[in-house]
C-alpha cells in the first residue's frame, strides 16, 4: 500500500472520528429536548427542553385545574373547589416521560429524525390525583339537593271535607354517571362544566288512581255530631250521630274499620262505669245497647246502632259512635272492612 493511500485512509478515519464526535456532541446537547409530535394532555411540547416544557404544562394544564368544577341543573349550581379535593399533578413525571420517549431510536435514529423533520407520535395522558372521598361527598350532596321522591296521591281529611291531594312526579340523578362526568372535568384543563342528567320517577298512586284507591271513606265531625260517608271521594250521605260523653271521649285521629258484626255481642269493658255488667258478655237482646250492627274502630270503640235515638246529636255514649238502627244498617251494607275513618 502506498504512502499516499495510507494518508488518505488516516484522513478518512480522522474525519469519521471528528464527525462522530460532532454527532455525539450535537446529540448530547439535545438530550433534554422533546421530540416533535409529543403531547402531554393534548398540549404540544415538541422542540421544548425540560424546563420550558414544565413551564408550558404548568401554564396550559395545571393552572386551569385550579378552577372550580361547576355542576349545573336548570338554575341550580354546585361548585367543586380544588382545595376541597387536594388536587395533585405529576408534572415532573409527565415531562420525564416526554424526554424519555424522545430519546428512543438510538443516536442515528434521533439524528435522522431531527435532520429529516420526523416526529414521535406519542400522547401522554395527564396524571392527576385527587381525593375520591371528596368527589363522592360532592356527588352525594348534589344528589341530596336534586333528588326528590315521587309522592303518591292521597287525601287530606278534615272534620267536614275530604280534599284530594295530587300526586307528584319525583326525580333521580344517575350518581354513577355524574361521578364520571365530574372526574372527566377534573382531568380537563378547558371543560370544567358538567350538566346533570335527571330521570323522572313516577308515583305508585297517581291523581287519576285516587278515587279507586279510596272507594269509601268516613269522616266524623264530633263538633256537629255528623258522620259523612264518601264514595269515590264524593259525599254520598250524612248521618246524625252521638259521640262519647265528657270523660268517655270518642278517640280522634285516623283509623280503619277493623271488624264488622250483625246483631253484635257486647263484651262489656271491665270498668267502673259499667257497674254490675263490668267484664260480662251480653248477647243480642234488650240488655245489649249495641243494636243491629257493629263496626269496630279502635280499642273497644266502634260504630253501632242504638234504641236511644233521642241521644243522637249529643255527647252521650261511652266512647262509641251511635247511629239509628236504620242508618247503621244502611252504612254497614255500604262499607267494607278496612275503610278509613277520620274522627275530628
Residue-wise pLDDT for 64-86, tens only, equals 778 899 999 999 999 999 889 88
- What are the domain boundaries of the chain? 3-64+91-126, 132-210, 214-343
Output the 3-class SS for the chain. Answer: CCHHHHHHHHHHHHHHHHHHHHHHHHHHHCCCECCCCEEECCEECCCCEHHHHHHHHHHHHHHHHHCCEEEEECCEEEEECHHHHCCEECHHHHHHHHHHHHCCCHHHHHHHHHHHCCCCCEEECCCEECCHHHHHHHHHHHHHHHCECCECCEEEECCCCEEEECCECEEEECHHHHHHHHHHHHHCCCCCEEECCEEEECCCCCHHHHHHHCCEEEEEECCCCEEEEEECCEEEEEEECEEECCCCCCCCEEEECCEEEECCCEECCCCHHHHHHCCCEECCCCCCCCEEEEEEEECCEEEEEECCHHHCCCEEECCCEEEEHHHHHHHHHHCCCCCEEEEC
Q: Class assignment of domain 214-343?
A: mainly beta
Least confident residue range of 34-48, 69-83, 223-237: 34-48
Task: Give percent above pLDDT 90 in the chain.
Answer: 60
**Bigger pLDDT: 337 or 57?**
337
pTM for this structure?
A: 0.64
Average pLDDT for 196-221: 95
Q: Provide the pLDDT confidence category of residue 273 given band limits of 50, 70 and 90.
A: low
Amino acid at each position: 500500500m502506498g504512502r499516499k493511500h495510507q494518508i488518505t485512509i488516516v484522513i478518512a478515519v480522522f474525519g469519521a472520528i471528528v464527525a462522530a464526535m460532532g454527532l455525539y456532541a450535537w446529540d448530547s446537547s439535545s438530550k433534554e429536548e422533546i421530540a416533535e409530535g409529543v403531547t402531554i394532555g393534548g398540549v404540544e411540547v415538541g422542540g421544548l427542553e425540560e424546563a420550558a416544557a414544565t413551564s408550558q404544562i404548568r401554564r396550559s394544564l395545571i393552572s386551569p385545574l385550579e378552577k372550580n368544577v361547576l355542576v349545573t341543573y336548570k338554575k341550580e349550581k354546585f361548585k367543586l373547589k380544588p382545595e376541597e379535593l387536594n388536587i395533585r399533578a405529576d408534572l415532573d413525571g409527565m415531562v420525564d416521560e416526554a424526554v424519555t420517549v424522545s430519546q428512543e431510536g438510538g443516536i442515528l435514529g434521533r439524528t435522522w429524525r431531527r435532520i429529516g423533520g420526523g416526529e414521535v407520535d406519542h400522547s401522554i395522558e395527564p396524571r392527576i390525583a385527587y381525593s375520591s372521598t371528596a368527589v363522592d361527598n360532592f356527588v352525594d350532596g348534589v344528589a341530596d339537593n336534586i333528588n326528590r321522591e315521587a309522592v303518591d296521591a292521597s287525601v287530606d281529611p278534615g272534620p267536614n271535607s275530604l280534599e284530594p291531594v295530587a300526586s307528584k312526579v319525583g326525580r333521580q340523578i344517575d350518581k354513577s354517571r355524574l361521578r364520571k362526568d365530574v372526574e372527566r372535568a377534573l382531568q380537563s384543563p378547558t371543560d370544567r362544566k358538567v350538566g346533570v342528567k335527571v330521570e323522572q320517577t313516577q308515583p305508585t298512586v297517581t291523581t287519576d288512581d285516587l278515587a279507586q284507591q279510596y272507594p269509601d271513606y268516613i269522616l266524623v265531625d264530633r263538633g256537629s255530631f255528623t258522620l259523612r260517608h264518601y264514595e269515590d271521594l264524593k259525599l254520598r250521605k250524612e248521618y246524625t250521630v252521638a259521640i262519647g260523653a265528657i270523660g268517655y271521649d270518642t278517640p280522634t285521629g285516623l283509623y280503619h274499620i277493623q271488624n264488622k258484626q250483625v246483631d253484635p255481642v257486647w263484651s262489656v269493658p271491665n270498668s267502673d262505669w259499667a257497674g254490675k255488667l263490668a267484664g260480662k258478655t251480653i248477647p243480642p237482646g234488650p240488655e245489649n245497647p249495641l243494636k243491629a250492627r257493629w263496626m269496630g274502630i279502635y280499642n273497644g270503640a266502634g260504630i253501632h246502632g242504638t234504641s236511644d235515638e233521642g241521644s243522637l246529636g249529643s255527647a252521650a255514649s261511652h266512647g262509641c259512635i251511635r247511629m239509628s238502627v236504620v242508618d247503621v244498617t244502611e252504612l254497614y251494607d255500604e262499607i267494607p272492612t278496612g275503610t278509613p275513618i277520620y274522627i275530628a
